[in-house]
Every structure is written in C-alpha cells, then in structure tokens.
Amino acid sequence: MSCSNRRGAKAENDRRGRQRGGVLPDRGEKTEAARRLRGVDADWRLPDLWRHEFLNILATWSRRGGAPSAAAQELWRRAVRWIGPCEVPVNMTAALALAHEHGISAYDAQYLALAQQLETVGATEDGRLRRLFPDLTRTLTELCAA
C-alpha cells in the first residue's frame, strides 16, 4: 500500500521553475492528509519494505534532476532515523498467501499482512485494495476522521 502516487508520477515545475510533483512524499497530492493523520495517530508501523520503496523514489527523483545526490542522501538518512524505529517484521508466509489468494503484489501483501498481524488497518489510496480488503484498509481521509 502506498500513500503516494509513486507509479507514473510526473514532476512539474512551480512558478519559480523548481520541480515539484508526486515524486517526493512531502510534495504529493496526499501530503496534507498524511500530515493530519500523523497528528491524529503518531504510532505508525511499517514493514522494512518501505526502505526499498523510498530509496527508489529518492534515486528516481535525483536521477531526473529533482535534487543533487547529496540532498537525496540526506533525505534518506533523515527518513531512516524517523521511520526506521517504526519497522515491524512481517510474516512473509502470510504475505505470500494473501498475494496468491487475492492476485495482489507481494509488496502490497506485506502491508496487509502486517495490518492483520497487528490487528489494525493500513492506510491506502489504492481503490482496488480498498475493495478487496475493506476490513484491513482505510483511506487517509477516513483515518483522519476516525
């Protein structure tokens, strides 16, 4: 599950010519909702998969000219300090079963398996995941309103 549009996100230029868009989490269309949720519930848990996903976001952003490599590396270090302590090991057998049974990616299945494991819900804006797993998922807006 992802709270940002990481696939196919195209950078745009703001009025000053700087790149912006859905590539970086602090500049995506759901940023404010994610910040509100963090204010409502600061106890987030993630599989270590977030590291691979975020590293790829930073590499793509930097490679496309969004920032120098040093800036991407600093963002990486800050993210690991902030989010690293929120990592929880996932039951990969359960994730594999979910992926197989529901035809979803093993990536999405890890977040869902973690939600099951922790007896909670996961935040996602993915409509298909919301339909397939209504008891395990909520949108950012729904979680902020709860």
pLDDT tens by residue, 25-44: 456 778 888 888 888 888 88
pLDDT tens by residue, 75-114: 999 999 999 999 999 999 999 999 999 999 999 999 999 9
What pTM does this model have?
Answer: 0.76
Cα separation, 8 vs 97, whole angstroms: 28
| CA-angle at 30, arms to 28 and 36, nearest 5° | 125
- What is the C-alpha radius of gyration for the chain, rounded to an integer number of angstroms? 16
